Each structure stands twice: as structure tokens, then as C-alpha cells.
Amino acid sequence: MWWKEGIVYQIYPRSFNDSNGDGVGDIRGIIEKLDYIKSLGVDMIWLCPVYSSPNDDNGYDISDYYNIMEEFGTMEDFDEMLAGMHKRGLKLIMDLVVNHSSDEHAWFKESRKSKDNPYRDWYYWRKGENDHPPNNWMSFFSGSTWEYDETTDEYYLHLFTKKQPDLNWENPKVRQACYDAMKFWFDKGIDGFRMDVISLISKDLSFPDANIDDFQEMIGSYSNGPRVHEFLQEMNREVLSKYDIMTVGEGPGITQKEALDYVGASRKELNMVFSLEHMFLNDGPDGKYDYRPMDFLRFKALFDEWNTALGEEGWGSIFLSNHDFPRVVSRYGNDNEQFRKISAKMLAMLLLTHRGTVYIYQGCEIGMTNVAFQSMDDYRDVEVLNAWKDWQAKGMTEAEFLPRVHTQGRDNVRTPIHWNDSPNAGFTTGKPWIRVNPNYPKINVEEAEADQNSVLHFYRKAIQYRKASKLWTYGTYVQYLKEDQNIFAYQRVYEGQTFLVVLNHSDNTQVVQVSDIARSDQSLTFSFGNYDEAAKFDAETIQLRGWEGAIFEIK
């Protein structure tokens, strides 16, 4: 199945490549880099939103589902890009954001005009109670989820910013309008959708108060509403089933228990969902900026648990970052001088040897790192700017808040891609919309192309390695050494072949006992690794240097 075997490369267009010097990445910028993307060996491109948008949340606030954002180009540019992808055998997965629209969408402009406007019930409008919003829900991006609108003396619901009002999916006209927009893009020939916060489209219409003391529990209570599966089945019947496309749903609150309800083959809803559980491992009760160290055992366990939860009926998504979470090497590896490259390579092995469809976020393939701007003025993301206001109100200073942003903020992955060591990393000839990461002279595509030992060349090799055997896509997955604080180990088995993957998640040499990961009558043959020379091993032990990853065939 193409969407099971294919590897996805994710583009955040604003930060990818600017073709016209206005400081904003654009579609022609993507067209210029299609050969580069193809050269990685990937098969699909997930493109973050490129529709018309006032950019309160960088395109996740859509004001016209049928048009391209002016800053990004025109529909002709889009058509050329799509043709360029298809010519190279690359499929295009677009982002579908239909839980909410922009407040500048014509539907919302109408809706807020009067209580009897035909578009009134395209959104959720409610009366307040004694000057209070209808309930205590808190937005993902700070403050109440209810915004008071004077015109009609009512509140509207927005789970994200107040410029992202939630569409009322109870209204069949809303659903039809979304399906029509989807058909428009499918008829153009796109190959699928990544569906933004799809777990939130159905609401409990009694709008009960939530437990707002625990952020995760709170957003969990907005998710998987009573009609979500009915809506998705309808969407599948009306639209998805008519095309040869793939879908992947995103959304907090899709836990292991619910996953199969979304992706079980017999359900006829979606092909895959993103499990965000491992993305939230650093978050504390007060949300992401209340962060704590990652529990490595839990991290490993999640891959195992999700694999079991999805079983044969479902299919997984394997990813370590996207446009919402920190850089892979900074978060799960070690981004210092000594270990950046080797740990980025080891994490590439982790990604490319798991069972499921693999997603690689732009810049990851050259080992780009988190950024540490020294002033909040350099940050752009609405989430972090809103959170900063909140934490300031609680008495926090900038010096105290910055380390939290450096560790957890979304702008870590939204600084421009480093193409070369010219000013602004070759991303733009103008002034970039967000500052570039100052380490671009060392970490950039041109440098990586010239260095045979680079993270980039390793990604290409590891992608080829995965593709050389269906074992990596379809083989069964069994973890070992589950209690080991440094080693991530698992076997993949397919059609009589067995491979063992051992990954050292530490700076220090680790020794693994072969008897812990294989039977005594089996022997190991080295197959693939991230160091120049093969990992050291004998019949009893495997020695892994700092951040070394090794793959053995077991016979």
C-alpha cells in the first residue's frame, strides 16, 4: 500500500525557501527545491496550510479554502508545484483545517452580523451568564475559549486564538461546505490530507465545565466529541472513498484507546492518526512551559504501546517532531559540538526502523537545532506570545521564561531552513519574517552536500536502507531492555528474517548483553550503523559508543 510504504517530508512553507526576497517562504521557493526533496528518497510531501489567511496562526486560520495565500503565490504557482511534484513521483498531502476558520472568513463575517443571519449557526454562539463566558474552558493559546462580541451580545467559541472561531459541525451545511472544499483540491489531483485537530470537530453541546487545573486533562475533555466518528464516516462516504488518497488525522486526546476508532480499516474513517503522546512528555500540569525532563522509559514504552494498540487493524505514524514541537536532535539527542551529528543520525535510524509511515520534518535531515533567542521580541508564534503574557501576569521575568521557550517553543522549528552560509542562510535575500538560527554557517545544506559524513547523506542512506526491505514497513515489532535507561532495542521480524536494532541514547559507551536480546542459538551479523566503523560486538556483548545505533541481522 503506497501510503504505508511511503516516507513523508513535511514542509512549513513560511520558513522553507523565499523566492522573491520579501522574507517569507513561498510556493516558487518550494518549486526551486523539488529536486533536493526528491534526492532525499522520500515519496510524499505534507505541506502545511497555503490557503488565504491573515496569518494569526501562520495559515492555521483560513479565510478562503479555495485560494492561495498572497504571500505564498498564486493558484498558477500551486498548479505548477503540484505538477512538478507529480513529475518527480512525489505525492502531495495538503493540510486540512476545518475545526475552525479565520474570523476573516466570509462565513464568520456574516455569522457575527446578527442573530438571524443565515450563517449564524455556522459557528457556536452562546449567551454568557452574568458577564461571564458560558463555561470555564481555556484556549490552547491562553485565555477563555469564549470571545464576547458586542454586536449581538453573545460569545463565540474558539478553542485556539480568538481569530480562529470553531466551525459548527452540527450544521449539515458546514459539513457540506468543508466536503466541497476537499473535493476541489482532490479534483486538482492532490493525494491526501493531514487533518488538523480533527479530534475536536464534535463538541459536547451542553458545554460542561472542564478541569482546568491540568492542561492535558482539560484539552482531552474537548476531544473525541459525541459525533466525531459519525462526521468522519460521512466525510469518508461523501469524499474520501471516491479518491485514491491518504489521510492522517491530528489531534490531542486521540489516545491509544480511541485510535482504532479513527483508523480501524473496517471503520471507514481515516488511514492514520498522529499519536501526540510522546510529544507531550515534557509538559507539566500547567502546560508546555511548565516543563520537566523526559521520562525515557515512558518514551520507549509509547512506541510499543501504540504498535500494540493499532495492531493489524490500524496503521501508525512514526515521527519525532513537526512544526509544533522542538527540533529532534535538541530534544531527543545531544546538539552539542561533539554529538550533534552522530545523535541526529542515530535518531534517523530510530525513525526509519519503526513500523508505520515515517514523517520527517524539514531541516531535520541536516540536523538543525533549537534556537535560543535572547529576547522575547524575536519570537513570532502566537502561542508563545500569548503564553508569555500569562506567565508574566503570574510574576515571571523574561530571564526566567526564556529557557522554557528555548526548550519547548514552536519557533524552534520555524526558523528558516539553512540552505548555505550566505547571509540569512540563503533562505531570503531580504529580511526574514523570523530571525535565522545563528548556527547556519556551520549547519546548512550546501555544507552537508559537500561532507560525505553529514547528517544529510546519512538520511539518504538510511532511507534507502529502509526501502530495500519491506521488513521495515511491515515486520512485527518487539521491544527488549524496556527498563534500560540508555538503550532503545527492538526486533523486527518479517517472512523468516529477523533484524535487531540497538540505539544508545547517551553520551557514554554502553554494553548490551546479547543474551538479553537474542536466543543463545542465534548469532548476529552487523548490517547498518551510524559510525564509520561497524559497532563492536562478539557472541556475548555489543558495545555501543555515545549515541551509536547499530542494526544486526539475527540468524
Query: Catalytic site residues?
Result: 196, 250
Of residues 296-325, which lie at the interface with ligand ISL (CB under 6 A)? 323-324
Binding of residue 434 to ligand ISL (CB under 6 A)? no
Region for 130 from its dihedrals, namely left if φ exceeds 0, alpha if ψ lies in -120 to 50, beta otherwise: left
> CA 464 to CA 352: how far, in whole Å?
10
> CA 414 to CA 434: how far, in whole Å?
8
Binding of residue 57 to ligand ISL (CB under 6 A)? yes
Kindly tell me which of 57 and 269 has the beta carbon lying closer to ligand ISL: 57
> From Ca ion, ligand ISL, none, which one binds at residue 269 (CB under 5 to 8 Å depending on kind)?
none
For 483, the grid coordinates are 527498563
Shortest Cβ distance from residue 81 to Ca ion (Å)? Answer: 14
> CA 303 to CA 283: how far, in whole Å?
18
DSSP E strand boundaries for 408-486: 476-480
Kindly tell me which of 76 and 180 has the beta carbon lying closer to Ca ion: 76
> From Ca ion, ligand ISL, none, which one binds at residue 383 (CB under 5 to 8 Å depending on kind)?
ligand ISL
Kindly tell me which of 165 and 432 has the beta carbon lying closer to Ca ion: 432
Residue from the set 3, 12, 60, 391 that interacts with ligand ISL by CB under 6 A: 60
Binding of residue 413 to ligand ISL (CB under 6 A)? no
> CA 231 to CA 172: how far, in whole Å?
10
> From ligand ISL, Ca ion, none, which one binds at residue 60 (CB under 5 to 8 Å depending on kind)?
ligand ISL
Shortest Cβ distance from residue 141 to ligand ISL (Å)? Answer: 8
Spatial contact of 501 and 528, defined as CB atoms under 8 Å apart: no
> From Ca ion, ligand ISL, none, which one binds at residue 22 (CB under 5 to 8 Å depending on kind)?
Ca ion
Closest residue by Cα to residue 551 from 532, 534, 530, 529: 529
Binding of residue 288 to ligand ISL (CB under 6 A)? yes
Binding of residue 103 to ligand ISL (CB under 6 A)? no
# residues near ligand ISL by CB under 6 A: 14
Beta bridge partners of 195: 96, 249
Stretch that binds Ca ion, among 13-21, 151-159, 352-360, 520-528 (CB under 5 A): 13-21
Binding of residue 160 to ligand ISL (CB under 6 A)? yes
Q: HEC profile for 31-48?
A: HHCHHHHHHHCCCEEEEC
Closest residue by Cα to residue 340 from 451, 183, 251: 451
Shortest Cβ distance from residue 221 to ligand ISL (Å)? Answer: 14
Of residues 17-46, which lie at the interface with Ca ion (CB under 5 A)? 18, 20, 22, 24, 26
> From ligand ISL, Ca ion, none, which one binds at residue 20 (CB under 5 to 8 Å depending on kind)?
Ca ion
Torsion of CA 503, 507, 509, 510, to 10 degrees: -50
> CA 320 to CA 286: how far, in whole Å?
23
What are residue 286's phi and psi, to 5 degrees?
A: -95, 20
Shortest Cβ distance from residue 383 to ligand ISL (Å)? Answer: 6
Kindly tell me which of 413 and 489 has the beta carbon lying closer to ligand ISL: 413
Q: What angle do CA 225, 263, 474 make, to 5 degrees?
A: 155
Radius of gyration of the chain (CA): 23
# residues near Ca ion by CB under 5 A: 5
Kindly tell me which of 140 and 222 has the beta carbon lying closer to ligand ISL: 140
Residue from the set 9, 78, 140, 215 that interacts with ligand ISL by CB under 6 A: 140
Kindly tell me which of 28 and 470 has the beta carbon lying closer to Ca ion: 28
Residue from the set 166, 191, 269, 383 that interacts with ligand ISL by CB under 6 A: 383
Sign of CA dihedral 216, 222, 226, 231: negative
Shortest Cβ distance from residue 416 to Ca ion (Å)? Answer: 11
> CA 184 to CA 513: how far, in whole Å?
57
Residue 211 burial by Cβ neighbours in a 10 Å radius (0-12, 13-18, 19+): exposed
Of residues 251-270, which lie at the interface with ligand ISL (CB under 6 A)? 252
Task: For residue 259, give every residue at least 6 positions away whose Cβ sits within 8 Å of its Cβ, in sequence order, or none.
Answer: 273, 275, 306, 309, 310, 314
Binding of residue 411 to ligand ISL (CB under 6 A)? no
> From ligand ISL, Ca ion, none, which one binds at residue 479 (CB under 5 to 8 Å depending on kind)?
none
Of residues 177-206, which lie at the interface with ligand ISL (CB under 6 A)? 196-197
Spatial contact of 425 and 444, defined as CB atoms under 8 Å apart: yes
Sign of CA dihedral 159, 160, 165, 168: negative
Shortest Cβ distance from residue 430 to Ca ion (Å)? Answer: 8
Shortest Cβ distance from residue 209 to Ca ion (Å)? Answer: 45
Residues at the interface with ligand ISL (CB under 6 A): 57, 60, 97, 140, 160, 196-197, 252, 276, 288, 323-324, 383, 410
Residues at the interface with Ca ion (CB under 5 A): 18, 20, 22, 24, 26
